[in-house]
Structure 1
Amino acid sequence: MPHLSVPGAELYYEADGPASAPCVLLIHAGCATLRMWDPLVPALAQDHYVVRFDTRGFGQTRTDDVKFSDRDDARDVLEHLGVTRATVVGASRGGRIALDLALESPETVTGVATVGSGPSGFPDTELTDEEDAAFDGLDDAYEDADWERMTRLETALWVVGPRRDESTLDPAFVETAYALNRPNIVHRAEAPVSVPLEPPAYDRVADLRMPVLATVGEFDLSFELASQAFLIDAVPGAEGYIFSDTAHLPSVEHPEEFNAVLTGWLAEHGL
């Protein structure tokens, strides 16, 4: 199992495809691990060097309770593999990390694709009643330190979505969704502290000059829908795409459509 030693952590990573090909760095969502990208890698790795890692607090990465930078971790993984430039694809918090990395190290990032993501510093938006009730349930589970219940509720909120009925969804997808978040239960009591980008990306995304693709699922939470609309409006030349009939993880629920959108955008921009 490949692990990279960095200050305060052992980062688990995987790399597929020819190392000489253009690199795509995949950063997972907070309700999953790097395994969420499994359906995409075989096709993407045919003509790209596909790199992914479990961020601190997730999957097979081990961390101490220390201050750290998500951007440093991403750069360390790329440097370890000899990659100097990469297109960064991030889902949820992974997209936030991708945008932060692009602003902090524009010489490293050739393009950014976000999935249900907003920039760091995005202002709070009003929740719907369903979203508010779901977050109350998450808060209760956190207060009780009931990590298993919290993880189940988190998956139901984000991946199923408050506007959908789980019983109407593909059972195989639902099973996969819960399985993707389950390995994170053992990390819930960990407390590494992520050092934020200053100033945050919200005030700076207009400075981005690389291609940006902002995507979201139509049944994602309201503030993720607002974040995607903001990115399209604020980033010069940004492109957008809304995946139908999915919530927070369209790459898992509709991998063929997601792969077609992503690879088409990569080809269009020579990435």
Structure 2
Amino acid sequence: MIEVNGARLGYDDTGDGTPVVLLHAGIADRRMWRAQTAALAARHRVVALDLRGYGESELPPTPFAHHVDVVGLLDALGIARAALVGCSFGGAVAIDTALAYPERVDALALLGAAVTGHEWSDETNDIWESLVGDVDPADHRASAAAEVRFWVVGPRRRPEDVDPELLRSAQEWDERALATEAALSAVDVAVLDPPAAGRLAELRMPVLVTAGALDLPDISRLADLIAATAPGAVRLPDVPDAAHLLPVERPDPVNAALLDFLR
């Protein structure tokens, strides 16, 4: 644990070399990065963070911003600049950090990233209705099962097509994340203003973009948009046989792509 902007945050700090910070999906926590930490730590100092309120990190009832916490973590660890790797919501936090503090970010690797200010398409809402339907938001177990079906299994396969251990882990992570989201609703969480959706051309550092081939169509479209707009972006093909948690589901191709990019 480390004190950052008035909150104690959970993190892992492994290896030596150029710094890399891993930012988890909103349905998970830093445990999703175990395979990447092991692969990258031979060449890099790898910091995997639990964003405020997630995993082991505290959520004091004071205003904050996730991207400000990321830079606060760099300051607390004595890191002047780092590459940021983000999946899903963690990708959105990585982008916001790079826009707010470009002097602190060497590179961005975005894996199925969200983008602040982006509005989901009607198609995504229709997919939710067809796969999940109505769920009681107060029932975290049922809500997590619905989100695992929607995000981790995805719209193009059945639960029995997915590794049961991945589904078990994702259910556990997401139940904890949903409790966090409920708590976050009572806290003043500042967002980047203006949001990232209209500012992707400001990302002047090298940017790697990919997504899971079995993820929602909106996620691949966002990857296309980032790659077409950020001047230094490289768009890798979508990772086969993977949905939203592609670093967990397909660690080998993800690790290879990260090692090559960060080199």
- TM-score, length-scaled by structure 2: 0.92
**2:173 is matched by which residue type in structure 1?**
L
Q: Deviations over 1:163-200 (max 9, x none)?
A: 21011222233233323324335435313332111111
CA deviations 1:216-251 (Å, max 9, x no partner) are 001111221211111111111311121011100111
| 1:80 equivalent in alignment to 2:76 | yes
Q: Which of 229, 232, 237 is the equivalent residue of 1:234? A: 229
Structure 1 residue 58, shift from structure 2 partner: 1.3
Structure 2: how far apart are the matches of 1:27 and 1:35? 10
Q: Is the 8 A contact 2:26 2:177 kept in 1?
A: no
Q: 1:1-271 residue pairs with structure 2 within 5 A?
A: 2-7=1-6, 9-18=7-16, 21-128=17-124, 129-134=126-131, 136-137=133-134, 140-142=135-137, 145-191=138-184, 192-241=187-236, 242-267=238-263
Q: Are the counterparts in 1 of residues 213 and 239 from structure 2 also a CA contact under 8 Å?
A: yes
**C-alpha contact (below 8 Å) 2:27/2:178 kept by paired residues:** no
What is the one-letter code of the residue matched to 1:215? Answer: T
Contact kept in structure 2, 1:13 and 1:77, CA below 8 Å: no
Structure 1 runs of 4+ aligned residues shifted over 6 Å read: none
CA offset digits 1:69-89 (Å, max 9, x no partner): 111110111111100100000
Q: Do the aligned partners of 1:147 and 1:188 also contact (CA within 8 Å) in 2?
A: no
Match of 1:67, as an amino acid? P
Q: Which amino acid aligns with 2:183?
A: E
Q: Which moved more, 1:191-200 or 1:212-221?
A: 191-200
Q: What is the letter of the counterpart of residue 169 of structure 1?
A: V
Question: In structure 1, what is the Cα distance between the partners aligned to 2:240 and 2:140?
Answer: 31
The 1:15/1:133 distance shift into structure 2, 3 A limit, reads same
| Counterparts in 2 of 1:5 and 1:237: CA distance versus 1, 3 Å | closer
Aligned to 1:194, the other structure's residue is in SS state: coil
What is the CA-CA distance between 1:162 and the residue it aligns to?
Answer: 2.2
| 1:148 CA drift (Å) | 1.7
| Matched-pair contact (CA < 8 Å) for 1:118–1:231 | no
SS in 2 for 1:67: coil
How many residue pairs end up in the alignment?
Answer: 259
Structure 2 unmatched ranges of 5 or more: none
Distance 1:14 1:152 in 2: 28
Q: Which whole-Å CA distance do the structure 2 matches of 1:178 and 1:217 have between them? A: 19
Structure 1 residues 186 and 81 mapped into 2: Cα distance closer, same or farther (>3 Å)?
A: same
Q: Which amino acid aligns with 2:199?
A: R
More displaced stretch, 226-235 vs 173-182: 173-182
Secondary structure, counterpart of 1:26 in structure 2: strand
Displacement of 1:10 in angstroms is 1.9
CA–CA separation in structure 2 for the residues paired with 1:174 and 1:185: 16
TM-score by length of 1: 0.90
Task: Determine helix, strand or coil for the equivalent of 2:86.
Answer: strand
Contact 1:55 1:61 in 2 (8 A): yes
| Cα displacement (A) at 1:259 | 0.2
RMSD: 1.7
**After alignment, is 247-256 or 160-169 more displaced?**
160-169
Q: Percent identity?
A: 35
After superposition, the Cα gap between the structure-2 partners of 1:188 and 1:204, relative to the gap in structure 1 and judged at 3 Å, is closer
Q: 1:84, 1:31 → 2: CA distance?
A: 29
Separation in 2, partners of 1:132, 1:226: 20
